[in-house]
RNA sequence: GGGCGGGUAGCUUAGGUUGGUUGGAGCACCCGGCUGAUAACCGGGAGGUCGCAGGUUCAAAUCCUGCCUCGCCCA
């Protein structure tokens, strides 16, 4: 058996899987079985795959593999997300196209071609990563969001929403750059914050039926012509002041006459008003509501049918942290403003065009000018009209265009919405049906989001995406939403052509005949939010409803999705949004939400920080098995994971190497003995075998239960501990001698069968998480791939070996006693190789069957059960704090101290039993104390408490530390054996080859008796052996024990 | 500002719902031991204000309140 090269083994298996098409087989062999539907959240292949993608794909894969082994039909269709802003930005950067007009000039067709190509930049890298990490998914027949079929399904879904009256056109206030003609996502906005100093103004709004003015503050004077309302907090306190004297130090324009009256928030008045004045009355904000004021720029905005325009209105978000407690409201230039305006019916009219300059008719001095150049003009206008109280320079962070550096304007853009607020109750109800892991993401984070659901703005003023299939009549404004290619064909005008594909600019050229008036209809020039695309994945992947009706019927709602927690408001939401509005159903039954991946310092991984981990570093070093196992066992799936590269190394060394060596131990001897599990059978298993088989049963059940409850990390840890601690460090360690036996023995066969069985079960349990090494092991043991095998729990564990809990408990005790024995030896400075003559177990259950195990482990000649408890043990009384605390409460410290000061525990126990014991006025009963039997001083011994709950027993182990010649001889033999064995290993001898041995014992050596010498010869496979007295020649190996020199030579 | 989650040894973490003996592991470090499956393993040592401050209690890592801090999402 060659040394382990995990990477080579994994690469070899990938090839094997490719050749025998194991993935396809694993599906085909379960054809006809109940399906388990996994939906792949489509990645975008225009970014390089990173370690976080490996994490997500591991969780996706392991659940699918597990379910497949459970007997489900688990088809796994791949998918690619190919639309969206990041794609366009990438291309824009490369081609230096700064703005939408630039793109149009460059040519939309060419631009979209570039986008289409750019989408596949890293497809190969994704494929390689996917294959190398063994994520089994069908990448040869994936769904792709840019394909016409996919788009047609999305159109159909939008058509359904339109027909249900859920689609409407409104405005959305977005950060907008007039220079590039582009609105920005929050991500892009974050790129361009700059600290700037700008004029802010306190403006007097003269009331209609009152002498006073209301004072409002704004940092964007250019929005003042658009003012149509003043917002106050209903519970905020406001005051009316009257100027009674001039200000002593005035800076800049503006001012106030003596006798002038102004209204503002009480809390802010001191910081705002520079004049001497009297407070003449106080109001709650709610009392001001409804008061009318004079428009600042008459005629800039048409009143229309609004009854609330230029009045005071209430808004609960108004605070007194800055300004005047009165918020100037220009409906089209702020999100709060817009929402408030819609709620109370303010006119929604622009005063600024999309080029960033004032519209004609705003004001003669402003019309046609770029708004940011008008601050000064506006301030002057206000000042000369007596409408300015103060100006003040203001420093703040303001978002700027990350390309041009110009300030962004918050601007109400035309936008199409899905009326999610209309289906809020449904969303909540459907969400309740989803099994979330962890549950708090569903109830908390996601539930919170749904309870505050907003209408979904689904249109984007972009080029590369699913075109919005809404056409509007140029004449009668009738709207129509196209639901299919056929419908498009039927409705388009005779001079339109069917688009060559369902993208811009081709669809833009199609005109429809208006069913209302017969005029032409033109498409609304938007593309859809790419989240809409992916939200349609569960049916669009089958081209529903045009094809694959059956595929959908069998696969909806899907059983399982799994993505990062950042998808809560992304994909998790859009799937539910689409399924609720279109299908009146949840989209998925189970959702595993994964934590973010951080570097080992807990920082987010990002290219700029340079702390991104390349998965290939680990694939090529420890392999994909260790990488996957590490990621899964490092913490709960939903916890943020600090990725420590060293952890992968540890996982490899501790778990995989150990597992491989267990396998190799079995395989080496199986090969020597021509072991065949089919041919031979075994009547009776030894105690050790029955124990590890019982543990295997227990661990398989536990592992399964933990997977079911999504505690995947705990499952992995439990299994790892079993393999390392139970299987390797106890079962195999204590079984080595059994397989060394060269004769056929039933005990050896029992051991081989046991290892074969246990390794088979372990392989199957590990397979979903780390699919490589265990497949190799399973193939070698059973001749078939583990991925085609049955899950060990499929028959509720009936095929697993028998459980024997009594045996498990006893073995657990023996192992604890072994540990104690080793500790005793260290304390007594007794070398492990020097045997002890005798050992005693005091108390506890009958472990006589296991005495041999223990004596071998502890190198004790003989272990026996000591019946006379008092020989090595004494009674000790300890407080039962729980019982005593309830009884004596605050007297507990005294009682504890009194108990601690007892010296004759034996007598005290008698008193307690007789009811004669009392402390601080409390009678101490047997329930108040724990009676323990612990080792007596002066013995090399240790005691442990074993049992459960009520029945606790003390068990001690005692070792005899005396030395005699027989022991010394045995110890010497063992020293010699160990040196020669390591020499054999050093010489790289075959296990079965024999040697010629010479030993020289110096005078100081204890006598090596004949029996032990024979033992040396047998153990070291010495063909000839000679024992010399005195110092050995200088050219041979030599070592020292207890001051005596021993030399030896191996040929 | 709001919601959710975290903060335990140098590092990674268990425990926390049910308050009760000395807060468990692994890695790394030191000492010792063992070894013909093992790159391992076993025993010991050192390393902890269980984020901080209050509170409840005879008793708090655990329950309560406030704060600090990190992460994500939202505003």
**DSSP assignment letter at A372:** G
Q: Cβ of A724 < 7 Å from strand B? A: yes
Domain-located, residue A337: yes
The residue among A781, A810, A839 that closes a domain is A810
Residues with Cβ within 8 Å of residue A897, at least 6 apart in sequence: none
Q: Are residues A232 and A301 in the same domain?
A: yes
Catalytic residue, chosen from A42, A221, A407, A615, is A42
Q: Are residues A670 and A746 in the same domain?
A: yes
Q: Cβ of A445 < 7 Å from strand B? A: yes
Q: Are residues A881 and A1017 in the same domain?
A: no
Query: Is A2's pLDDT higher than 60?
Result: no
Per the listing, tokens 């230029």 go with: A310
Which residues in window 494-553 of A are less than 7 A from strand B by Cβ?
none
Domain-located, residue A48: no
User: Residue A659: which nucleotide is closest by CA–C1'?
Assistant: B38
Chain B, protein-covered positions (CB within 7 A): 3-6, 11-14, 20-21, 26-27, 32-44, 57-59, 70-75
Q: Are residues A924 and A852 in the same domain?
A: yes
| Helix (H), strand (E) at residue A881 | helix A881-888
Query: Is A951's pLDDT higher than 80?
Result: no
User: Residue A730: which nucleotide is closest by CA–C1'?
Assistant: B41
Looking at residue A1, its pLDDT comes to 44
Looking at residue A3, its pLDDT comes to 64
Q: Are residues A244 and A390 in the same domain?
A: yes
Is A42 annotated in the active site?
Answer: yes
The residue among A914, A943, A959 that closes a domain is A959
Domain-located, residue A572: no
Which residues in window 870-889 of A are less than 7 A from strand B by Cβ?
878, 881-882, 885-886, 889
| Helix (H), strand (E) at residue A356 | none
Q: Are residues A858 and A915 in the same domain?
A: yes
Contact A499, A510 (CB under 8 A): yes
The residue among A60, A95, A118 that closes a domain is A118
Domain-located, residue A598: no
Q: Are residues A260 and A361 in the same domain?
A: yes
Q: Cβ of A649 < 7 Å from strand B? A: no
Is A81 annotated in the active site?
Answer: yes
Q: Are residues A301 and A390 in the same domain?
A: yes
Percent of chain A predicted with pLDDT > 90: 27
Classify burial at A238, counting beta carbons within 10 Å of its beta carbon; exposed 0-12, middle 13-18, buried 19 or more. buried
| Helix (H), strand (E) at residue A174 | strand A167-177
Domain-located, residue A4: no
Most confident of A264-273, A615-624, A893-902, A1021-1030: A615-624
In angstroms, the CA A403 to CA A99 distance is 9
Q: 3-class DSSP state for residue A44? A: coil
- Domain with residue A779: its CATH number is 1.10.730.10
Q: Cβ of A1018 < 7 Å from strand B? A: no
Is A284 annotated in the active site?
Answer: no
- Token readout for A833 is 């190789």
Quote the ipTM score.
Answer: 0.90
- Domain with residue A1041: its CATH number is 3.30.2320
Residue A575 pLDDT class (50, 70, 90 cuts)? very high
Domain-located, residue A123: no
Average pLDDT over chain A reads 85
Q: Are residues A309 and A361 in the same domain?
A: yes
Condensed to tens digits (0 to 9), the pLDDT of residues A433-444 reads: 888 888 888 877
Tell me the H-state helices in A517-597: 530-535, 537-540, 549-553, 571-578
Domain-located, residue A168: no
Q: Are residues A322 and A306 in the same domain?
A: yes
Is A607 annotated in the active site?
Answer: yes
Per the listing, tokens 């969400």 go with: A431
Q: Cβ of A641 < 7 Å from strand B? A: yes
Condensed to tens digits (0 to 9), the pLDDT of residues A603-642 reads: 666 655 566 778 888 898 889 999 999 999 888 888 888 8
| Helix (H), strand (E) at residue A217 | strand A213-218
Candidates A188, A180, A176, A236; CA nearest to A84 is A188
Domain-located, residue A26: no
Is A531 annotated in the active site?
Answer: yes
Q: Are residues A323 and A397 in the same domain?
A: yes
Condensed to tens digits (0 to 9), the pLDDT of residues A635-693 reads: 888 888 888 888 888 888 889 988 998 998 888 888 777 777 766 666 678 888 999 99
Q: Are residues A249 and A331 in the same domain?
A: yes
Q: Cβ of A932 < 7 Å from strand B? A: no
Q: Cβ of A616 < 7 Å from strand B? A: no
List the domain range (segments joined by +) for residue A337.
187-406
Looking at residue A912, its pLDDT comes to 82
In angstroms, the CA A252 to CA A275 distance is 14
User: Residue A989: which nucleotide is closest by CA–C1'?
Assistant: B36
Q: Cβ of A246 < 7 Å from strand B? A: no
Is A616 annotated in the active site?
Answer: no
- Per-residue pLDDT, averaged over A827-838, amounts to 83
Looking at residue A512, its pLDDT comes to 93
Candidates A693, A700, A705; CA nearest to A750 is A693
Residue A411's DSSP bridge partners are A174
* Number of folded domains that form chain A: 5
């Amino acid at each position: 058996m060659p040394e382990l090269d995990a990477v080579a083994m994994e690469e070899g298996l990938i090839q094997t899987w490719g050749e025998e098409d194991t993935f396809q087989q694993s599906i085909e062999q379960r054809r006809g079985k109940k399906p388990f539907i996994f939906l792949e959240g489509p990645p975008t292949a225009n970014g390089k795959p990173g370690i976080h993608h490996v994490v997500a794909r591991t969780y996706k894969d392991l659940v699918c593999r597990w379910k497949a082994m459970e007997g489900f039909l688990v088809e796994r269709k791949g998918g690619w997300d190919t639309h969206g802003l990041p794609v366009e930005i990438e291309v824009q950067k490369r081609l230096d196209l700064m703005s939408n007009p630039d793109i149009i000039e460059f040519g939309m067709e060419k631009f979209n071609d570039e986008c289409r190509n750019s989408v596949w930049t890293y497809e190969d890298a994704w494929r390689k990563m996917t294959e190398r990490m063994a994520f089994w998914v069908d990448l040869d027949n994936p769904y792709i969001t840019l394909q016409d079929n996919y788009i047609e399904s999305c159109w159909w879904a939008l058509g359904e929403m339109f027909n249900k009256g859920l689609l409407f056109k409104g405005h959305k206030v977005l950060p907008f750059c007039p220079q590039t003609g582009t609105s920005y996502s929050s991500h892009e906005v974050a790129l361009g914050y700059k600290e700037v100093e700008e004029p802010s103004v306190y403006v007097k709004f003269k009331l209609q039926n009152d002498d006073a003015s209301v004072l409002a503050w704004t940092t964007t004077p250019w929005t003042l012509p658009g003012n149509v309302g003043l917002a106050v907090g209903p519970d905020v306190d406001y005051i009316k002041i009257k100027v009674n004297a001039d200000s002593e130090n005035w800076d800049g324009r503006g001012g106030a006459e003596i006798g002038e009256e102004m209204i503002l928030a009480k809390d802010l008045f001191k910081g705002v008003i520079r004049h001497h004045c009297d407070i003449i009355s106080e109001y709650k904000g709610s009392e001001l509501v409804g008061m009318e004021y004079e428009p600042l720029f008459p005629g800039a905005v048409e009143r229309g049918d609004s009854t609330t325009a230029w009045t005071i209105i209430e808004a609960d978000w108004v605070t007194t942290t800055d300004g005047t407690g009165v918020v100037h409201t220009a409906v089209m230039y702020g999100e709060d403003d817009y929402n408030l305006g819609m709620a109370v019916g303010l006119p929604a009219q622009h005063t600024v065009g999309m080029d960033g300059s004032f519209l004609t008719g705003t004001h003669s001095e402003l019309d046609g000018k770029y708004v940011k150049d008008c601050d000064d003009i506006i301030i002057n206008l206000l000042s000369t009209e007596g409408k300015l109280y103060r100006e003040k320079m203001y420093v703040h962070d303001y978002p700027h265009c990350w390309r041009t550096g110009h300030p962004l304007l918050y601007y109400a853009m035309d936008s199409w919405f899905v009326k999610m607020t209309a289906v809020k109750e449904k969303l909540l109800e459907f969400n309740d049906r989803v099994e979330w892991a962890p549950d708090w993401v569903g109830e908390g984070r996601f539930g919170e989001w749904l309870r505050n659901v907003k209408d979904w703005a689904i249109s984007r003023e972009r080029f590369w995406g699913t075109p919005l299939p809404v056409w509007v009549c140029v004449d009668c404004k009738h709207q129509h939403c196209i639901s299919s290619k056929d419908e498009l064909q039927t409705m388009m005008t005779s001079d339109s052509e069917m688009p060559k594909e369902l993208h811009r600019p081709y669809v833009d050229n199609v005109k429809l005949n208006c069913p209302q008036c017969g005029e032409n209809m033109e498409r609304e020039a938007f593309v859809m939010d790419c989240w809409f695309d992916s939200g349609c994945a569960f049916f669009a992947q089958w081209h529903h409803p045009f094809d694959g009706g059956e595929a959908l019927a069998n696969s909806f709602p899907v059983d399982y999705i799994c993505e990062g927690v950042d998808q809560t408001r992304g994909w998790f939401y859009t799937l539910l949004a689409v399924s609720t509005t279109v299908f009146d159903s949840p989209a998925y039954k189970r959702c595993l939400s994964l934590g973010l991946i951080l570097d080992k310092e807990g920082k987010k991984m990002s290219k700029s920080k340079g702390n991104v981990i390349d998965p290939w570093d680990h694939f090529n070093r420890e392999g994909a098995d260790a990488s996957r196992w590490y990621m899964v066992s490092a913490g709960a799936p939903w916890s943020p994971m600090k990725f420590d590269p060293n952890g992968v190394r540890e996982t490899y060394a501790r778990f995989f190497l150990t597992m491989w060596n267990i396998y190799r131990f079995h395989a080496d001897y199986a090969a020597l003995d021509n072991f065949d599990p089919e041919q031979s059978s075994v009547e009776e298993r030894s105690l050790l075998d029955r124990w590890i088989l019982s543990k295997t049963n227990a661990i398989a059940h536990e592992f399964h239960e933990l997977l079911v409850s999504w505690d995947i990390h705990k499952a992995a840890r439990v299994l790892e501990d079993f393999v390392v601690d139970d299987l390797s460090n106890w079962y195999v360690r204590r079984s080595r001698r059994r397989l060394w036996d060269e004769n056929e023995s039933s005990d050896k066969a029992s051991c081989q069968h046991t290892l074969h069985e246990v390794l088979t079960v372990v392989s199957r349990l590990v397979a979903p998480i780390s699919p490589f090494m265990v497949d190799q092991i399973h193939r070698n043991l059973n001749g078939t791939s583990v991925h085609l095998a049955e899950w060990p729990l499929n028959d509720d564990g009936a095929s697993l070996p028998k459980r024997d809990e009594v045996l498990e408990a006893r073995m657990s005790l023996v192992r604890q006693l072994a540990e104690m024995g080793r500790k005793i030896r260290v304390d007594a400075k007794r070398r492990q190789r020097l045997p002890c003559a005798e050992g005693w177990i005091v108390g506890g259950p009958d472990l006589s069957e296991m005495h041999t195990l223990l004596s071998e482990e502890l190198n004790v000649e003989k272990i026996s059960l000591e019946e006379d408890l008092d020989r090595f043990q004494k009674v000790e009384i300890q407080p039962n704090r729980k019982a005593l605390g309830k009884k004596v409460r605050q007297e507990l410290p005294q009682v504890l101290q009194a108990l601690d000061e007892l010296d004759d525990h034996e007598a005290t126990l008698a008193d307690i039993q007789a009811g004669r014991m009392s402390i601080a006025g409390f009678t101490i009963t047997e329930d108040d104390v724990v009676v323990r039997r612990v080792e007596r001083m002066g013995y090399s011994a240790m005691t442990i408490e074993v049992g459960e709950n009520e029945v606790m027993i003390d068990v001690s182990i005692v070792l005899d530390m005396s030395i005699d010649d027989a022991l010394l001889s045995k110890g010497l033999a063992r020293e010699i054996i160990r040196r020669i064995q390591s020499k054999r290993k050093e010489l790289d001898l075959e296990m079965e080859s024999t040697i010629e041995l010479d030993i020289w014992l110096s005078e100081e050596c204890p006598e090596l008796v004949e029996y032990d010498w024979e033992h040396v010869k047998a153990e070291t496979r010495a063909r000839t052996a000679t024992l010399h007295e005195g110092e050995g020649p200088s050219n041979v190996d030599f070592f020292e024990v207890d001051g005596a020199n021993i030399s030896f030579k191996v040929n």
